[in-house]
């Protein structure tokens, strides 16, 4: 017994990394629009620098990205050619509510997603929609301070009400927040947070996290009222933390690091703050801004499935000096001597994928959905745009094989697999185009130059074969 017959094979992207068209169709300005490439990107992503407008000194890759805003039909046709059963994309909040706090949505923005969804359905491709993927109206940051403000819950509630009503009967799988645990590592992307000098940053992050958790439960409640067939998923950046040594101090540190990741899913899947988190927050003097009704809302509106991204495992040590951190990692980690690394220092661990899946399934006993996985690498195309990306094929082969083991040997219930950046898009951490994940090459460079022409890589036909054989022919 391999994958289910209706297994959702496909690919994934996010609005801010693919759409472009930042000022088209009545769209408002988003936080991600003003995140530049270069060395200022990191501090901005982490909320350390206030940078809420364009300037002449930087390049802003999200403004035009790969212009999926105008190329989406061509791109979806290529996905269909590969045999995609599902395509995960995200909604640009500012297309629907340009400022975020309006009463009425922007019809032009909705019309864009109408067309996109209809195009997918035309090919029998299931849309898997992320409601927010590192994306929010900049006005909500300027006027309300981002997700630190409880009012965001209402604005998000308005957004999802519009979406669920509009796409009732068309979109079944929704994801409330992309990599919700990213709030703790890239708070500007995860929650529109910019810290004030001297404020308690952890307090702000957990306040924002609480508001997102409440908003996610509210979305689940609204979804079930509008369309009982909807399936709501949470989403975390997964990747098991291994202890650096069998020293119990390291084992304990790995446990704590894992808990800090699982905390979010514990709330979304089990419906309450776990004891370890309440104790830890209390020790740190952090107050969770519960208001009346929050606990019931969280308890009664848990998710239907757990979706996650997996790129790498991580290593924890009780000894801070052991962290000679690997470059390019948003999550602090230690070099694992047993693993190879990508050109960006991301450690490659296919067996860790199986381990992570077992941890998640064992903990929640809910269907899992792999909504991101893949290798970011530099590609060198020939004159026709063809890339011999054997390294990417090898990465995916090994990961899919371990995913299969998790299903076949360990009995993990898995809904689907949408590999990341099925078409080359802008990198979230670096803003580069040259960190490519796709089966489809896009002619665009790190400075935004290029024809935007799409062409198939070697992995295109390979993935087509994988899908056609339901994962048997790797």
A 10 A CB-CB count for 449 gives: 9
Residue 356's SS3 state is helix
Terminal CA-CA length for the chain: 16
Residue nearest to ligand BG6 (CB): 429
| From 19, 126, 372, 402, the catalytic residue | 372
Q: Alpha-carbon distance 330 to 89, whole Å?
A: 22
Return the number of the residue (125 or 175) whose C-beta is nearest ligand BG6: 175
Return the number of the residue (135 or 402) whose C-beta is nearest ligand BG6: 135
Name the one range near ligand BG6 by CB under 6 A: 39-47, 73-81, 214-222, 422-430: 422-430
Residue 372 sits in the site that holds ligand BG6 (CB under 6 A) = yes
Going by C-alpha positions, the residue among 54, 46, 32 that lies closest to residue 426 is: 32
Q: Alpha-carbon distance 139 to 28, whole Å?
A: 9
Q: Alpha-carbon distance 395 to 461, whole Å?
A: 15
Q: 5 to 24, contacts with ligand BG6 by CB under 6 A?
A: 14, 17
Nearest-approach distance from CB 469 to ligand BG6, in angstroms: 27
Nearest-approach distance from CB 332 to ligand BG6, in angstroms: 15
Name the one range near ligand BG6 by CB under 6 A: 35-43, 264-272, 357-365, 420-428: 420-428
Q: Locate 75 and state its tokens.
A: 């791109």
Strands (E) across 151-255 are located at: 173-177, 231-238, 241-243
Q: Alpha-carbon distance 151 to 101, whole Å?
A: 9
Residue 212 catalytic?
no
Among 33, 75, 135, 179, interactor with ligand BG6 by CB under 6 A: 179
For 328-417, where are the alpha helices, taking DSSP H only? 350-364, 390-408
Nearest-approach distance from CB 12 to ligand BG6, in angstroms: 8
Going by C-alpha positions, the residue among 212, 129, 227 that lies closest to residue 175 is: 129
Nearest-approach distance from CB 376 to ligand BG6, in angstroms: 4
Return the number of the residue (25 or 42) whose C-beta is nearest ligand BG6: 42
Residue keyed to tokens 């990692």:
329
Q: 234 to 253, contacts with ligand BG6 by CB under 6 A?
A: 237
Nearest-approach distance from CB 314 to ligand BG6, in angstroms: 13
Q: Locate 316 and state its tokens.
A: 């924890």
Strands (E) across 178-251 are located at: 231-238, 241-243
Among 429, 434, 455, 470, interactor with ligand BG6 by CB under 6 A: 429
Name the one range near ligand BG6 by CB under 6 A: 18-26, 27-35, 424-432, 457-465: 424-432
Residue 376 sits in the site that holds ligand BG6 (CB under 6 A) = yes
Name the one range near ligand BG6 by CB under 6 A: 44-52, 248-256, 426-434, 463-471: 426-434
Residue keyed to tokens 């997964």:
238
Residue 320's SS3 state is helix
Residue 419 sits in the site that holds ligand BG6 (CB under 6 A) = no
DSSP state of 83: T
Residue 45 sits in the site that holds ligand BG6 (CB under 6 A) = no
Return the number of the residue (179 or 379) whose C-beta is nearest ligand BG6: 179
Is residue 290 within 8 Å of residue 210, measured between CB atoms?
Answer: yes
Name the one range near ligand BG6 by CB under 6 A: 78-86, 271-279, 391-399, 429-437: 429-437
Nearest-approach distance from CB 124 to ligand BG6, in angstroms: 26
Total interface residues for ligand BG6 by CB under 6 A: 14
Which CA distances in Å does 348 have to 339, 340, 344, 356, 396? 6, 6, 11, 13, 11
Is residue 113 within 8 Å of residue 71, measured between CB atoms?
Answer: no
Q: Alpha-carbon distance 275 to 257, whole Å?
A: 15
Q: 305 to 364, contacts with ligand BG6 by CB under 6 A?
A: 309
Residues near 409 by Cβ (< 8 Å), separated by ≥ 6? none
Nearest-approach distance from CB 25 to ligand BG6, in angstroms: 22
Residues near 120 by Cβ (< 8 Å), separated by ≥ 6? 76, 87, 126, 127
Return the number of the residue (181 or 317) whose C-beta is nearest ligand BG6: 181
Among 31, 94, 178, 216, interactor with ligand BG6 by CB under 6 A: 178
Name the one range near ligand BG6 by CB under 6 A: 163-171, 295-303, 351-359, 428-436: 428-436
Residue 428 sits in the site that holds ligand BG6 (CB under 6 A) = yes
Residues found near ligand BG6 in the complex (CB under 6 A)? 14, 17, 178-179, 237, 309, 372, 376, 420, 427-430, 435
What positions carry a catalytic annotation?
372
């Amino acid at each position: 017994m391999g994958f289910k017959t209706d297994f959702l094979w496909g690919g994934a992207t996010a609005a801010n990394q693919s759409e472009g068209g930042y000022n088209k169709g009545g769209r408002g300005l988003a936080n991600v629009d003003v995140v530049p490439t270069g060395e200022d990107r990191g501090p901005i992503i982490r909320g350390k620098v206030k940078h809420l407008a364009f300037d002449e000194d930087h390049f802003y890759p999200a403004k035009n990205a790969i212009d999926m805003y105008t190329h989406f039909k061509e791109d979806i046709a290529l996905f269909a050619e590969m045999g995609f059963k599902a395509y995960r994309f995200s909604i640009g909040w500012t297309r629907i509510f340009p400022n975020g706090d309006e009463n009425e949505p922007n019809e032009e923005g909705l019309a864009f997603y109408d067309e996109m969804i209809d195009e997918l359905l035309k090919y029998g491709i299931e849309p898997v929609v992320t409601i927010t993927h590192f994306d929010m109206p900049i006005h909500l940051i300027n006027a309300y301070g981002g997700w630190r403000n409880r009012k965001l819950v209402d604005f998000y509630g308005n957004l999802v009400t519009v979406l669920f009503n509009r796409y009732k009967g068309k979109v079944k799988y929704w994801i409330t927040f992309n990599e919700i645990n990213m709030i703790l590592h890239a708070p500007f992307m995860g929650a529109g947070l910019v810290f004030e000098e001297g404020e308690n940053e952890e307090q702000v992050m957990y306040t924002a996290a609480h508001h997102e958790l409440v908003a996610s439960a509210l979305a689940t409640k609204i979804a079930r009222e509008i369309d009982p067939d909807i399936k709501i998923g949470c989403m975390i950046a997964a990747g098991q933390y291994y202890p650096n040594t069998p020293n119990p101090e390291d084992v304990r540190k790995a446990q704590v690091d894992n808990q800090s990741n699982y905390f979010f899913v514990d709330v979304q899947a089990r419906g309450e703050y776990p004891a370890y988190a309440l104790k830890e927050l209390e020790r740190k003097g952090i107050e969770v801004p519960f208001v009346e009704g929050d606990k019931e809302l969280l308890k009664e509106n848990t998710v239907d499935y757990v979706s996650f991204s997996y790129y790498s495992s991580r290593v924890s040590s009780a000894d801070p000096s052991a962290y000679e951190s690997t470059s390019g990692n948003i999550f602090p980690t230690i070099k694992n001597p047993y693993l190879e690394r990508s050109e960006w220092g991301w450690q490659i661990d296919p067996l860790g994928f199986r381990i992570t899946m077992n941890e998640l399934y064992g903990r929640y006993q809910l269907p899992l959905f792999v909504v991101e996985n893949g290798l970011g690498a530099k590609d060198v195309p020939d004159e026709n745009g063809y890339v011999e990306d054997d390294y990417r094929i090898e990465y995916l082969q090994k990961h899919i094989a371990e995913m299969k083991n998790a299903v076949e040997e360990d009995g993990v219930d898995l809904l689907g697999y949408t590999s990341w950046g099925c078409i080359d898009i802008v990198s979230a951490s670096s803003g580069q185009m040259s960190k490519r994940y796709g089966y489809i090459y896009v002619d665009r460079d790190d400075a935004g130059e290029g024809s935007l022409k799409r062409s198939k890589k070697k992995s295109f036909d390979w993935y087509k074969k994988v899908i056609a054989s339901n994962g048997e022919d790797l």
